[in-house]
């Protein structure tokens, strides 16, 4: 176990205050970190900003799939962004995220497959001609590290793209093993047989020296492992099955790197180093200098490597539960933490600083996610208790009279509606528009029956509460004086509408404090929010018990004995009892 | 003891010892999919069954000038288990008063005053102070720790005193016996009862509940 004390939040603060949004990889890393850790509000805020500020395709259809250092636009990062939006859509159900990631995938899919059969692979377009002039209108081949199968897999209509990515990555792994004799990494570059590709190498061959010139950077290897591990985990999460081809690669990679890399005591990480002379010398001595471990002399990249390796390792651990991988990851993260400065930053000094910091943030977030559970996790754990397959579309016919998803959603909301649980407490700010006094609570995602209060802070920082009155009373006031605009003093709720009186004359930053319920868009992959551990436990038992009752089999007896009489009493009634305790405690504190 | 050794002890003392640790085998006799799951449930139950005095600890709230509120989880603190917030002014211990978030919001939340904290409020995972902190006062939080989730087989059950560690497998085994007996035969209620009494006895013997939670503490 590591103590992640303060690291993540301070680091995030540091990054937020120093980052430039033109550093697209760093921005996407932070977005992914927020998503992994379940910080939905931060993720939404960042994603909204990116969507509205040109983090979308602007280039012509002929070139959009390429890597261009000048434009900062790469298909790899776009695929990661699409993945983040897909996850955010699962968490929030907000349609705009769905339309955005769908558009990105549609665009990328089209442009990755111009007259060839390479849909899903990110081809490379950067090339310098003999006079060192950039020739951007050129696709040459495919970098293993730019392949991102996870999003293609999640977007079910592109599953063949995911398969294609996996096939190529396995080929890359096999080629590396064939040339080096070591089952460890990936041959970086595959020269696709594309119509534009007339000058670079032989088509349909794997190369260690591709057009970008940085193939010796071992970051290629870690990016590729991360890409695979993310796909591996997503597939397991959704299907409960391991992709055995990918497992083989990940097993070999971690087995080798754990066995051959030292855990350093200083600012140095167990990252394998591939010297360019080894790679270019030929096949026989690739990585011959295995003892040549990465060290601080290579500058700040080592943090980036270590963080990305940690993320990949945690993803693998989530599926395979291997202790040696976990211990290795903990040692890396512990070393990272020990080098954090008081301002939240790390000892990164080069131009890649923020990118490295953002990878570090992602690693901490991923680690923290190990001990947090989503509703989706809870339902699956409840199903595990009953030896039912993971929640999916087929559950509806094999185990339930109704759709398993609907059933579980009912159970979750059933318990959440019993009381005002503190972990559902949230605040939402009203957006001011001149002359507007009426708001749709549906649009704000607020249950009209679960509003605690409305208010704002005046210019002196003092609280001004807006008093609730009946709708008829509010109408009466408005009929007398509908044109007066000033600070609102009353509000009323009628059906799903919120009304203010007076009409605000400026933006008072009015906030609504309320208790959220899960919305009705729970789908089989939705992970709406993350629960406190103790409540996750209660909810799991509640769902399991109700599922057992629904199925009407003798497992009910297990639960009657196990849950009620022996271990934990974590039944539905127990949950209600506890919520009553909470109510009492809350009322005491609030008076 | 680490996670693996506890699991092995459970296996050696129970009918599960005759089986492998594979989920399928365990499922034949037991409604948990594997021994890890069983152990997790047991430790969690043990953890939340009462306020264990040996989980009480004091954690420093590291001052960071940019923050006006702090997330307790960043310090490994469960927001439901905070007992008090205090600091020292010279040799004098000064306690901050806790008020509800509702009251805090009405009276203090928008104010910009800074200085020594007088009151604080906890809302979900966030702790807020009034006045806002303007320097490091050496704030400390006394709280009860959660027994951490054991992620790795080599993770030590380090928070649980040794005298409580060995009873865990017994506890699990006794409960499991009760379940198996119930499942195996219609007419074995008496046996079940005996087994359940054993559980109760173990509860009394090992998990005594002398340590009562302070009135303000609530566990969920």
What is the pLDDT at residue B206?
Answer: 43
What is the pLDDT at residue B53?
Answer: 76
Residue length of chain A: 591
Q: What is the mean pLDDT of residues A381-401?
A: 64
b/e map A397-412, b = 16+ CB within 10 Å = eebbeeebbebbbebb
Residues of B in contact with A327 (CB under 8 A): 152, 154
Q: Is the dihedral of CA A471, A476, A477, A481 positive or negative?
A: positive
Render pLDDT for A148-204 as a digit per residue (tens, 0 to 9): 999 999 988 888 889 989 999 999 999 888 877 777 788 888 887 765 555 566 778
Contact between chains at B154 and A323 (C-beta distance less than 8 A): yes
pLDDT > 90 fraction of chain A, expressed in percent and rounded: 22
What is the pLDDT at residue A193?
Answer: 72
What is the pLDDT at residue A57?
Answer: 40
Range among A104-108, A321-325, B190-194 rated most confident: A321-325
Q: Which is more confident, A307 or A30? A: A30
Q: Evaluate if residue A4 carries a pLDDT over 90.
A: no
- Residue of B111, B153, B178 with shortest CB distance to A323: B153
Q: Which is more confident, A336 or A570? A: A336
Using DSSP bridges, classify how beta strands A463-468 and A490-494 pair: parallel, antiparallel or unpaired: parallel
What is the pLDDT at residue B129?
Answer: 95
What is the pLDDT at residue A197?
Answer: 54
CB < 8 Å from B in window 546-565 of A: 554-555, 557-559, 561-562, 565
Average pLDDT, chain A: 73
What is the pLDDT at residue A170?
Answer: 95
Range among A81-85, A257-261, A320-324 rated most confident: A81-85
- ipTM reported for the complex, 2 dp: 0.72
Q: What is the mean pLDDT of residues A408-433?
A: 77
Q: Evaluate if residue A46 carries a pLDDT over 50.
A: yes
Question: Residue A519: pLDDT band by 50, 70, 90 thresholds?
Answer: low
Contact between chains at B45 and A568 (C-beta distance less than 8 A): yes
What is the Cα–Cα distance from B174 to B197, expressed in whole angstroms? 9
Query: How wide is the angle at C-alpha A23 spanned by C-alphas A223 and A27, nearest 5°?
Result: 70
| A257 to chain B, closest Cα gap in Å | 19
Measured between CA atoms, the residue of chain A closest to residue B189 is A561
What is the pLDDT at residue A585?
Answer: 36
Measured between CA atoms, the residue of chain A closest to residue B121 is A589
What is the Cα–Cα distance from B97 to B93, expressed in whole angstroms? 13
Average pLDDT, chain B: 70
- Residue of B41, B76, B111 with shortest CB distance to A567: B41
What is the Cα–Cα distance from A344 to B74, expressed in whole angstroms? 13
What is the pLDDT at residue A439?
Answer: 96
Contact between chains at A589 and B100 (C-beta distance less than 8 A): yes
Q: Evaluate if residue A34 carries a pLDDT over 80.
A: yes
Residues of A in contact with B71 (CB under 8 A): 9
| B155 to chain A, closest Cα gap in Å | 7
Contact status, residue A559 vs residue B66, Cβ threshold 8 Å: no
Residue A574 token pair = 């127990």
Measured between CA atoms, the residue of chain B closest to residue A13 is B66
What is the pLDDT at residue A104?
Answer: 84
With CA atoms as reference, report the closest residue to A292 among A310, A307, A279, A308: A279
Render pLDDT for A330-372 as a digit per residue (tens, 0 to 9): 888 887 777 778 888 876 654 457 888 888 899 989 988 887 7
What is the pLDDT at residue A216?
Answer: 61
Q: Measured over all CA atoms, what is the biggest interatomic distance in chain A, rounded to whole angstroms?
A: 91
Render pLDDT for A449-489 as a digit per residue (tens, 0 to 9): 889 899 999 988 889 999 999 999 999 999 988 788 999 99
What is the pLDDT at residue A246?
Answer: 96
What is the pLDDT at residue A499?
Answer: 96
| B205 to chain A, closest Cα gap in Å | 15
Task: Reduce the DSSP state of residue A373 to 3 states and report it.
Answer: strand
Q: Evaluate if residue A441 carries a pLDDT over 90.
A: yes
Q: Evaluate if residue A49 carries a pLDDT over 80.
A: yes
**Tens-level pLDDT at each residue, chain B (220 residues):** 777 777 777 666 655 555 444 444 444 444 455 566 667 766 766 666 566 777 889 999 989 888 888 988 888 888 878 889 999 988 899 999 999 888 998 899 888 899 999 999 998 889 999 999 999 999 999 998 877 767 777 777 767 777 666 666 666 665 555 444 444 434 434 444 555 455 555 555 444 433 333 333 333 3
Mutation target to probe the A interface, by most A beta carbons within 10 A, among B139, B152, B170, B192 is B152
- Residue of A317, A463, A535 with shortest CB distance to B106: A463
Contact between chains at A568 and B41 (C-beta distance less than 8 A): yes
Residues of A in contact with B66 (CB under 8 A): 13
Mutation target to probe the A interface, by most A beta carbons within 10 A, among B63, B151, B196 is B151
- Residue of B67, B78, B175 with shortest CB distance to A567: B175
């Amino acid at each position: 176990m590591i103590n992640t004390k303060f690291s993540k939040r301070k680091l995030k603060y540091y990054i937020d205050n120093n980052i430039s949004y033109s550093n697209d990889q760093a921005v996407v890393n932070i977005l992914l970190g927020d998503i992994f850790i379940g910080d939905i509000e931060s993720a939404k805020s960042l994603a909204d900003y990116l969507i509205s500020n040109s983090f979308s395709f602007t280039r012509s259809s002929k070139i959009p799939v390429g890597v261009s250092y000048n434009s900062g636009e790469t298909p790899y990062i776009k695929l990661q962004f699409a993945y983040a939006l897909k996850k955010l859509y699962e968490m929030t159900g907000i349609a705009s995220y769905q339309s955005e990631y769908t558009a990105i995938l549609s665009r990328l899919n089209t442009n990755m497959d111009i007259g060839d059969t390479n849909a899903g692979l990110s081809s490379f377009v950067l090339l310098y001609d003999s006079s060192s002039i950039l020739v951007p209108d050129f696709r040459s081949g495919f970098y293993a590290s730019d392949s991102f199968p996870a999003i293609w897999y999640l977007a079910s209509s592109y599953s063949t793209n995911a398969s294609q990515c996996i096939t190529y990555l396995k080929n890359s792994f096999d080629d590396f093993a064939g040339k080096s004799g070591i089952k460890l990494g990936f041959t970086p570059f595959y020269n696709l047989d594309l119509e534009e590709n007339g000058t670079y190498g032989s088509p349909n061959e794997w190369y260690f020296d591709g057009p970008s010139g940085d193939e010796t950077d071992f970051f290629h290897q870690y990016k590729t492992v991360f890409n695979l591990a993310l796909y591996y985990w997503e597939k397991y999460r959704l299907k409960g099955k391991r992709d055995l081809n990918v497992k083989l690669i990940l097993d070999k990679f971690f087995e080798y790197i754990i066995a051959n890399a030292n855990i350093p005591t200083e600012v140095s990480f167990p990252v394998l180093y591939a010297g360019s002379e080894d790679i270019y010398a030929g096949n026989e001595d690739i990585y011959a200098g295995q003892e040549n471990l990465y060290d601080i002399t290579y500058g700040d990249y080592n943090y980036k490597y270590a963080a990305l390796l940690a993320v990949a390792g945690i993803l693998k651990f989530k599926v395979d539960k291997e202790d040696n991988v976990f211990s290795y990851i903990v040692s890396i993260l512990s070393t990272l933490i020990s080098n954090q400065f008081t301002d939240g930053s790390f000892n990164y000094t080069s131009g890649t600083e923020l990118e490295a910091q953002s990878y570090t943030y992602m690693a901490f977030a991923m680690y923290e996610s190990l001990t947090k559970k989503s509703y989706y996790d809870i339902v699956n754990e409840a199903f595990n208790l009953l030896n039912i397959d993971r929640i999916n579309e087929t559950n509806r016919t094999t185990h339930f009279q109704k759709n398993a998803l609907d059933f579980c959603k009912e159970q979750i909301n059933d318990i959440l509606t019993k009381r005002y649980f503190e972990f559902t407490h949230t605040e939402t700010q009203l957006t001011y528009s001149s002359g507007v006094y009426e708001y749709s609570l549906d649009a704000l995602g607020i249950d009209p029956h679960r509003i605690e209060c409305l208010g704002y802070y005046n210019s002196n920082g003092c609280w001004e509460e807006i008093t609730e009155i009946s709708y008829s009373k509010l109408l009466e006031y408005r009929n007398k004086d509908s044109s007066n605009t000033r600070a609102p003093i009353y509000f009323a709720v009628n059906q799903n509408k919120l009304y203010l009186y007076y009409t605000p004359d400026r933006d008072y930053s009015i906030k609504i404090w309320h208790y959220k319920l899960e919305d009705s868009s729970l789908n089989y992959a939705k992970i709406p929010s993350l629960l406190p551990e103790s409540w996750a436990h209660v909810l799991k038992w509640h769902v399991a018990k109700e599922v057992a009752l629904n199925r009407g089999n003798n497992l009910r007896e297990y639960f009657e004995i196990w849950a009620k009489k022996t271990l934990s009493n974590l039944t539905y009634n127990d949950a209600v009892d506890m919520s009553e305790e909470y109510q009492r405690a809350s009322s005491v504190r609030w008076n | 003891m680490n996670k693996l050794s506890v699991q092995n002890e459970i296996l050696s003392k129970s009918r599960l010892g005759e089986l492998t640790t594979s989920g399928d085998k365990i499922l034949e006799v037991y409604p948990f999919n594997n021994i890890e799951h069983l152990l997790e449930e047991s430790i969690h139950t043990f953890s939340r069954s009462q306020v264990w005095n040996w989980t009480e600890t004091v954690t420093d709230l590291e001052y960071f000038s940019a923050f006006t509120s702090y997330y307790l989880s960043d310090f490994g603190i469960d927001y439901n288990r905070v007992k008090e917030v205090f600091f020292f002014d010279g040799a004098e211990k000064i306690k901050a008063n806790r008020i509800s978030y509702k009251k805090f919001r009405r009276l203090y939340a928008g104010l910009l005053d800074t200085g020594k904290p007088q009151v604080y409020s906890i809302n979900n995972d966030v702790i807020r102070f009034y006045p806002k902190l303007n320097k490091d006062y050496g704030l400390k939080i006394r709280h009860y720790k959660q027994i951490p989730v054991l992620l790795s087989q080599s993770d030590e059950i380090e928070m649980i005193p040794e005298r409580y560690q060995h009873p865990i497998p017994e506890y699990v085994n006794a409960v499991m016996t009760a379940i198996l007996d119930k499942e195996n035969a219609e007419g074995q209620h008496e046996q079940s009862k005996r087994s359940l009494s054993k559980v109760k006895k173990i509860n009394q013997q090992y998990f005594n509940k002398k340590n009562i939670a302070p009135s303000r503490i609530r566990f969920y």
